[in-house]
Amino acid sequence: MVMRLFCCLLLLSAMPSWAATKLEASVDKNPVLAGEFFMLNISVDDTIKSEQPDTSVLLKDFVVGPTSLSTRTNIINGSINKQTTWSVKLMTRNEGEYTIPAFTVAGLSSQPIKLKVAKRAADADKNNDIFLKTELSNNSLFVQEAGVYTIKLYLAKELLDGSLSTPSMEDAQLTQLGKQTESYELVDGKRYLVITREYLLQPQKSGVYTIVGPTFQGRVQQNYRQLEVSALGDDQQLEIKPIPANYKGAWLPSELVNIDEQWQPEENTVEVGTPITRTITLTALGVTKEQLPEINMNTIEGIRSYPDDVETNNAVRNGRVVSQQTASFALLPQKAGTYTLPEITVPWYNTKMQRISYATLPKRTITVTGGAQANTQPLANTNSAAPNEPNLQPATADNLAASTPPFQPAQDKTPLWLVIVAVLGYILWIITAIFYWLSRSTKNEPKNTSVSVNKAQPLSLSALKNAAKTNNLNAFYNELNEVAIKLTGKKVAAINTLIHNINNDELAAQVNRLQSALYANSSASIDLNAIINMIEQHQAQRTKSQQAVLKDLY
């Protein structure tokens, strides 16, 4: 027993201490081609699980792929070697001399690596088994005008797996449209599987920008081998034009805007009480459905209007974004007469002609006739006609003489069961009326008054004021939109509706300056506090009027 313990202590004393002593960084190829992926390996002679090298410093010069971790333990002739390796895929788009900086792990540092990147040949992608093509619908856009950016990945080999990066551009939103599609094409006699993705591009500021092309890395099957492949999409320059200074109203840049309507029934002459369905459709090219202004119809005295739900959608047609908004209104004429529905006009900026244009729905005149029911006069005496007679007429001596001879006895007697049913129906009607009156009295109790009082309370503008203190124009505009939605109840073009309701030229001017500063790089001075003050005054007047209404209710 003592001998065994002694041997164990001897073995433990002979074993090395497993503390990290060396950190090394290396690449699997040097030089590399521009657009070609290579592997960076960072290794330490120990098992490290709590730390990892900071690879964020590589983002300045390289496209950085995912990092994988591997550990290994070797025992050779009683000697134990441990190793932890971090592997990172890298790629750079441009030729030149680069330096991969030193990394630090477990108190150890690696040596920097000098990397040479050679120019990619102009015909490098010709006759290749994999390459990328990119296309932009228009090389010049206005601020907030929607463009379509298309990526096509061509594969001549069987794809096992891969990763296609998302394109990027400063001061712009890039959103994938739908799902990617797959098709086949013949290029120079070679058959390719083509994977296509479309992105919605919406620039937010004017200037000259570059769309950074996508990159692809993956594995393909060639005979019985698996090959690592990569491809690089070209960068594209794009000019973003500012909002013209003379444009006023909701900004709607488009190549084409159209508004039309449908009526049911189609006739321009209807009778009183006949329901009319009016469906208005607004279609715009080169904008998103969120940019479409809300369609409103003016109130016509003598015709009740009931708006239906608004439907919006967008799609891509021939490389262009097409958006559409459909609004339906139910019209119910209340009295006879001739009515003219005013025209509906939507201003927009024609990006092809570079001028302000208008989509107009012309006015329409309809004639409402009295109808048969409208000409019917109330009966002077309901007992002058037989109960079952379908056509009731005013009781006169002539028609009484024509319908029934004087002093002629009744030919038919009312059945007893019909009388019983009528009496029971009358009793049920009385009971129903009593319950309706009781329920209506309960609903009119003072508990609803508290709800009305709460609605009269002004909306909090604290978030708007905080954004004004920090002079954060983006945050202020977003909060202003939220306030406008709550005050107007409109989800589309809420700010414009609020400006219309307040009807203050100074407010409209300040908001226009704010929009110009955000979307047109304007340097005009903006008084954010003045906007807040005008909204507070509007709320105060609104609250005062609501309280006056509540006072009248009491």
Do residue 156 and residue 105 come from a single domain?
no
Which two three-digit tokens encode residue 122?
């102009």
Main-chain phi, psi angles of 507, to 5 degrees: -65, -45
Residue 182 covered by a domain? yes
Q: What is the pLDDT of residue 431?
A: 74
Predicted pLDDT at 442: 46
Same domain, 109 and 48: yes
Asked if 189 and 258 sit in the same domain, the reply is no
Residues 222 and 302 placed together within one structural domain of the fold? no
Do 263 and 323 lie in a common domain?
yes
Same domain, yes or no, for 188 and 141?
yes
* Same domain assignment for residues 311 and 347: yes
Domain ranges, residue 214: 130-241
Give the H/E segment covering residue 345: strand 344-350
Largest Cα–Cα separation, the chain: 143
In a domain, 405, yes or no: no
Residue 482 inside a domain? The answer is yes
Residue 214 lies in a domain: yes
Secondary structure letter of residue 417 according to DSSP: H
Does residue 229 sit in the same domain as residue 134?
yes
At 298 the pLDDT is 83
**Residue 323 shares a structural domain with residue 233:** no
Q: Is 515 part of any domain?
A: yes
- Distance from C-alpha of 85 to C-alpha of 44, rounded to nearest angstrom: 7
CA dist 465 to 291, 468, 504, Å?
A: 26, 5, 20
**Would 399 be classed as within a structural domain?**
no
Residues 195 and 284 in one domain: no
Q: 196, 219, 241 — which closes off a domain?
A: 241
Q: Are residues 258 and 327 in the same domain?
A: yes
Q: How far apart are CA 238 and CA 255, in angstroms?
A: 18
**Does the residue 402 lie in any domain?**
no
List the chain pLDDT tens, one digit each, 554 residues.
445 554 444 444 444 445 678 888 898 888 888 877 888 998 888 777 778 888 888 888 888 877 888 888 777 776 777 888 888 888 887 888 898 999 888 888 888 999 988 887 655 555 578 899 999 988 899 999 999 999 999 998 888 888 888 899 999 989 998 889 999 998 888 889 999 999 999 999 999 999 998 988 888 888 788 888 888 888 899 999 999 988 888 899 999 999 999 998 888 899 988 889 999 999 999 899 889 998 888 888 889 888 888 899 988 887 788 999 999 998 999 999 999 999 999 999 999 898 999 999 999 999 999 854 444 334 333 333 333 333 433 333 333 233 334 434 444 455 665 666 666 766 776 777 676 656 554 444 443 333 333 444 678 888 888 888 888 887 888 888 888 888 887 766 678 778 878 888 788 888 877 776 765 555 667 888 889 989 988 888 877 765 554 444 44
User: Does residue 418 fall inside a structural domain?
Assistant: no
The answer to whether residues 88 and 64 touch, using CB atoms and an 8 Å cutoff, is yes
Split into its structural domains, the chain has a count of 4
Is there a single domain that holds both residue 230 and residue 260?
A: no
